[in-house]
Each structure stands twice: as C-alpha cells, then as structure tokens.
Chain A
C-alpha cells in the first residue's frame, strides 16, 4: 500500500506519473506533490495514470482542483493510461467529460 508520484518537465509539457493508490490516506502527500503543476503557465499537463491502481473522492478532488487552476491559464490537462476500474470511477462521477483522456 503506497502511493508515489514522479514529475518530469518535457519541452512544453509538465508530466506527472502516479503509482499505487491515491486514497484519502495518500491524498495529503499527493496534494503536496501536485503543487508543482500549479505553475503551468499555459503549458499542457499530462497525468500519467498507467500505474495508478485506485482513486477515491479525495484523489478526484485533487484532479478537479488542478484543472480548475490550469484551465484559466490556457493549459490542457491530459490523462493517459487509465485502467478500466479507474475509468469506471471517472465515468460514474462525470469526470470523464472534464478531462482530456488519451
């Protein structure tokens, strides 16, 4: 039971990879880690969910907070590599329509 994030800056993109479970217990650490994405300044953000196993409402709130910050700055938020379970959570909460899912 863990949760790990990796941040990369590629050309004009900010990329953050998630690994493990983004549950309530992990959410405060994730919130800290994601702060770097708030300085996107119009650059697109890619959230790599290939190794994200689980997300609860605490994690969804972080994603919503991020896109609410990035949108007005002209940044797009892309989600990549979501597994079916994760995709179901996004579908049920209406989040699928909020993000650009690749």
Chain B
C-alpha cells in the first residue's frame, strides 16, 4: 500500500517538474533579427523536415518547425514590417502536454517539451491546444526525391503519416553535448557547447540558447534584459523563449 502511495505521489508530482537537470531556454533579439529566414533552412536541414511540395503549401500543410511571422505596422509611406521567429516555446506549463491521451508529448528532465513520434496516434489535440501553433502534423508520408534522401540527418528520425512533430531545441545536439561532457569527465555541459541549428546559423546572432539553471550562462543574462517579453504571456503557459523587443534608435 505504501508503495502504491509513493507511486501515486510520483505520478502526481514527478521531481523534474520542480527541478530540472538543465533548463534549456532561448532568447531572440528582435532588434537583431532581420527576418532573413536562414534559421528556417537550418532547421529544415538539421531535423529532416520534408519537402512537401507546392500542392501541400496551397493546402496549408507545410511543415516548418520554425517560421518567421511578419506583421505590418502603419500605412504607406509610414509603414514598418516586423518579423518574429515563431517556434516551440517549450512552455513550462505547456497546454499541449495535458490533452494527449497517450502521453506522446511530455516534459523531460531538461525542461524540454518533447514529442515522442513512436507513441503519437495522431489525435492532433496538442496542435489545437497550442496557442503558438507551432505543432505540425504529417498529413501524408512524405518522400524525398532520390538522391535528396542522402542528405537526411541520421541523428533524427523521419516521421510517417499521422504523427505530430515540432521543434525539439535540437535535442540530438543536446544529447551529443551531454555525451561529450561525460566523455570529458565533466558533470555538466558548458555554456555555448550546445547550439540548436537555428541559433548556430543566425547571421545576426539574434538567438541565444543555453541553460537557465546556470545563472552565468549567456541566456540567463539575456533573460534579464529589460526589453524582454514573452509572447502570449497572459495565457500563463510559461514559455521558455524570451523575445527582446525591437529597440528605438538613439538617433
């Protein structure tokens, strides 16, 4: 009976919900971001995102784990275009995690919101519940025209029809960095040792990624930037991406 009670307790309150091993987070400086979309291609290359074809785009069935949203402000001639890269926010209170009937999406011990493709049965509830709309469903099994499949990253699986997918913060890179840290006899991954593909590629260095548990990491410092805000913060999803809003010019 005691054992059962412990199990129940563990189920209701798994330890990692309070204290993560790592707490990966990201900041995106909109003042640096130019909307060039290098990150979008980087993500596609790293994570084996399918080439869906024109027809699927027409049907709005594209798969882009990271997309750049654009918003016009003002009217001609006093008009501005603003960009905001939108990717999985890895919310600490992720609305997408509760409704999955098979628990295919959950929070891991690093505070990442993960998607288990094997387990997914395709109810798409997570996509409905996600306010950021960053979950992408495989409406079909996509094929790569030969020999494009030779490019596929062997560290990342290819998904079949009926499975939900989304940004993982390049979990394969995180795993690799942890392995290397272990090989080097270090307990923890050093700051800057892991960069997701998008962060790595960003030509303006607008994105910073790192461990929020480490108060000295770059991302922890950027988190305190007074320009920081979280998108749709009022929904209390506790997103882990802090955007730094566009600054005004001193001139």
Q: Do A and B come from one complex?
A: no
A residues engaging B (CB < 8 A)? none
Q: B-side interface residues toward A, CB under 8 Å?
A: none
